[in-house]
Amino acid sequence: MRARKQTGSRRTIMATIGTFKKSGNNEFTGEIVTLSVQARGVRIVPENRANGENAPSHRVFVGRAEIGAAWAKQSNEGRNYLGLKLDDPSFTSPIFANLFNDEDGEGYSLIWSRPSRRNAE
pLDDT at 11: 60
Is 121 domain-assigned?
no
Is 119 domain-assigned?
no
Is 61 domain-assigned?
yes
CA distance 121 to 86: 26
Q: What is the pLDDT of residues 20-74, one digit of tens each?
A: 999 888 899 999 998 888 899 999 999 988 778 889 999 999 999 999 999 999 9
pTM for the full predicted model: 0.82
Q: Minimal CA–CA distance to 30: which of 1, 3, 62?
A: 62
pLDDT at 10 over 70: no
Q: What is the pLDDT of residues 69-110, one digit of tens each?
A: 999 999 999 999 999 999 999 888 899 999 999 988 889 999
Is 53 domain-assigned?
yes
